[in-house]
Structure 1
Amino acid sequence: MQLTTLDWLVMALYGLVALSLGLWFARRAGSGAEEFFLSGRKLSWWLLGTSMVATTFSTDTPNLIADFVRGGGVAQNWSWWCFLITGMCT
């Protein structure tokens, strides 16, 4: 496969944009651990909830649920409720 000048320009532009965004967000993020992990305690409840739900949409979640159901039947799918307290505390 032969890359043209346009291909190289697009890749270079993409790299520059990604690097620029990374540097901009790094400068804006602050320096403390609380700022990094807790966002300075400034996020709204709905955004935090959306973040918690988004973490369950990983690639291994369907495998985990299938294993729960295979091992203990459909009732095992209720085991998600046991993660409620620990998920809210972390």
Structure 2
Amino acid sequence: MAKKRYWRVIGYDSTNQIYERQFPLGIMPQNQMAAALRSLVASAGLTFDEILDCHTRKNAKIHRELLEVRTESQPHFSMTCGLNPHFIASVVEK
């Protein structure tokens, strides 16, 4: 039997897990997962000013990288967004 692939999303506030959800990989493409991670981080703990600062030009004095999504492919594909709180989406097989 073939293994199925899933997105596993886990959220942390410092070292405390605040969220976890898993769902089939095929229902959300990578670019939408990146947008979802940004939304989760913003709603979990950013102020309105911090959110707006993240959307300014990168060379602006007030720009913040709190909503940047970082990807890794080793050992398994994952995306991370946020500092504190932060969320991780990884591809898992079952």
TM-score of the pair, normalised by structure 2: 0.30
**TM-score where L is the length of structure 1:** 0.31
Give the helix-richer structure, 1 or 2: 1
Q: Which has the larger radius of gyration?
A: 1
Structure with greater proportional strand content: 2
